[in-house]
Amino acid sequence: MTRLVIAGAGGHGREILTWVRSSPRFLGEHGIQHIAFINDVEPAKPLGAPLTGTIRDFIPNAEDLFICAIGDPVDRASVALSLEARGARFVSFIHDDALIGPTVTHLRGLVVFPRVTVSTDVRIGAHVHINVASSVSHDVTIGDFATLSPGCTVTGGATIEEYTFLGAGATVIPGRRVGPGATVGAQAAVVTDIAAGLVVVGVPARPLRETAARTPCAQSDRGAGL
């Protein structure tokens, strides 16, 4: 009997629960019969599935599969790496309605929402989240723990480095590179390479500020699940 454990019970986690339940092919392939949440703070809204413990103290069972439902890339890394150190097995969830090319490669923990398209010869790292109606074109590389918000477009040969966050509707033109830990604002258009840690906004995207480097810690200091 396989249980799916969703780490993080904020809005992102509740969304993932909705899409998992609407993906019978995914549920059947992994033999998932039960779904539960773990979270370090009391959820603000009803979850629709049991809360079975805290992230900080949870001990995985051999039959459990995990999804890390933390939207922030660095906080996601902190939670996922902490659970993996305790033996958690992270599954990749690709919604039944997503279109994934046969030459796409990815590592563990990928989360792909409905209406996403990922084209040819795309390489995706661990624990990447690609939200509703985003499009990833040929020969793109996406690094570990990156987040693509709803409606993003990443065009041919672009590179999205680890811990990068693309806001809703952001576009990256062909061949451009978005550096590690950068944030691209909603609806921004990336037409030049973006350095590590920059926050960029606008069309074309221009620097708003540079952020201090954040790295994963054993447990997020911002309250897992928020």
Among candidate residues 83, 59, 60, 65, the one with its CA nearest the CA of residue 218: 83
Name the phi and psi angles at 169, rounded to 5.
75, 10
Q: How far apart are CA 38 and CA 225, in angstroms?
A: 8
DSSP 22: T
Strands 32-38 and 111-112: unpaired
Q: What is the DSSP string of 17-42?
A: HHHHHT-HHHHHHHTEEEEEEE-SS-
Q: Which of 12, 30, 95, 138 is catalytic?
A: 138
143 is in an annotated binding site: no
From the list 159, 137, 149, the residue with the least C-alpha distance to 188 is: 149
30 among known catalytic residues: no
What one-letter code names the amino acid at 88? A
Q: Please give the positions annotated as active site.
A: 138
For the annotated binding site for substrate, the residues are: 71
For the annotated binding site, the residues are: 71
